[in-house]
Amino acid sequence: NAGVMQNPRHLVRRRGQEARLRCSPMKGHSHVYWYRQLPEEGLKFMVYLQKENIIDESGMPKERFSAEFPKEGPSILRIQQVVRGDSAAYFCASSPLGQGEQFFGPGTRLTVL
């Protein structure tokens, strides 16, 4: 039973470019969460999605960041016009019921040059 999958594991972008991060939830899980982790910090909630719906994006920066979870395929976190402050580890988690228990993927480490 495969866990949460994320790709790429490492991503390097220059300032102003776009970053696309992908997340495939665990089999049978329809609830996806995105978190950001800065160095030496805990994880910060960004967005919660179900298939084709954004349920809660209260932790998402208002500009340049967007997320989707289409009917088919992985969830995608998109960062447009990246800046150095976007450098962080981005984690996806999935849940079977959307309550409490969340299982995390290995993360995507974004470096903005």
Partner 1 sequence: QQQVKQSPQSLIVQKGGISIINCAYENTAFDYFPWYQQFPGKGPALLIAIRPDVSEKKEGRFTISFNKSAKQFSLHIMDSQPGDSATYFCAAIGGGADGLTFGKGTHLIIQP
**Among 110, 109, 107, 104, residue whose Cα is nearest residue 3:** 104
Query: What is the chain's length?
Result: 113
Residues within window 30-49 making contact with partner 1, judged by CB under 8 A:
33, 35, 40-46, 48
Using the rule CB under 8 A, is 27 a contact of partner 1?
no
CA neighbor of 51 nearest in space, from 66, 30, 34, 67: 30
Number of shown-chain residues binding partner 1 (CB under 8 A): 27
In the complex, minimum distance from the CB of residue 88 to partner 1, in angstroms, rounded to a whole number: 14
Q: Give phi and psi for 106, each to the nearest 5.
A: -75, -10
Contact positions vs partner 1 (CB under 8 A): 4, 6, 33, 35, 40-46, 48, 55-56, 58-59, 91, 98-107
